[in-house]
Structure 1
Amino acid sequence: MSIKMFVNVPIRKLSESVRFWGALGFAFNPQFTSETTTCMIVSEDNYVMLLEDADFRSFTDRTITDPKTSIEVMVALALDSREAVDAMMTQVLANGGSEYAEARDMGFMYQRAFVDIDGHHWEPFWMNPDYVNEE
């Protein structure tokens, strides 16, 4: 089965989020972009829909948590190397994001954690491909 994944997150201001994520090297699909929403391309089958609060609220009648004080999800991003993880963190910090926790080196996996400009929790990591048991 092949599944494409779209993660929807509420944001305060589209232009600020596009600037932040664009500075980290992400591109956006103009076909799914409006004045208040855009589709950030993570990979061929994975996307993050950045929706200003009012647009996000139009999809649910449930309370939307404040990501600066509550957490519902942590999004992990598998990168190609430890250096790529550190490079992403450098860009995060240079563009207004903040480090959530110290780097964790477990030998087989290296992980960092940050909070984006809207308060969402992200965890870029690298896993040693020799450690992964492919069956």
Structure 2
Amino acid sequence: MAKLIFVNLPVTDLARATAFYEAIGARRNLQFCDDTASCMVFSETIHAMLLTHEKFRLFTPKPIADARSSSAVLICLSAESRDEVDTMVASADAAGGRADPGPKQDHGFMYGRSFEDPDGHIWEVMWMDMAAAAEVQPGPAAA
């Protein structure tokens, strides 16, 4: 079985956050949703757990950071094409997020943009032509 990732994000308004993630293409897994959490599925292996602050506090003794004013993590999703990168960022912007809080990246073989969700969490979306990337960045030399 492939390893799964569940990114847990504290959110101030669960309904707003859920609607935002649905607008950018994630779907809810109702099995893990209630009035304190929404499990948003990006793929078979990638999930974002949106948690109210009260629920999030059950998992950590640390204070919850305000992602609008500080950063602890940048989350990156792969995309199938440059167009998919642009579409996801445009969807995030239209759904109440903020497009491109960081600089766009265009290296020819790799293209990326970012968006900020309504709670300030930053997501990068990257497309890469793996064959072209291998030509630019060959693996380590054989010993």
Partners of 1:84 and 1:68 lie apart in 2 by: 25
Letter in 2 for 1:93: D
Partners of 2:81 and 2:31 lie apart in 1 by: 31
Q: Number of residues paired by the alignment? A: 135
Partners of 1:47 and 1:115 lie apart in 2 by: 17
Q: State the secondary structure of the residue aligned to 1:15.
A: helix
Contact 2:25 2:42 (C-alpha < 8 Å) held by counterparts = no
Match of 1:115 in 2: 116
Q: State the secondary structure of the residue aligned to 1:84.
A: helix
- Backbone CA RMSD of aligned residues: 1.6
Partners of 2:42 and 2:62 lie apart in 1 by: 27
Partners of 2:76 and 2:108 lie apart in 1 by: 18
Structure 1 segment 96-135 matched on structure 2, within 5 A: 96-99=96-99, 100-133=101-134
Gaps of 5+ in 1: none
CA shift, 1:132, in A, is 4.5
Kindly indicate which of the two structures has a greater share of residues assigned to strand: 1
Letter in 2 for 1:11: V
Contact 1:13 1:36 (C-alpha < 8 Å) held by counterparts = no
Q: State the secondary structure of the residue aligned to 1:130.
A: helix
Q: Percent identity at matched positions?
A: 39
Q: State the secondary structure of the residue aligned to 1:25.
A: coil
TM-score normalised by structure 1 residue count: 0.93
Describe the superposition over 1:113-133 as per-residue Cα deviations: whole angstroms up to 9, x where unpaired. Answer: 111101001001100132354
Partners of 2:109 and 2:91 lie apart in 1 by: 24
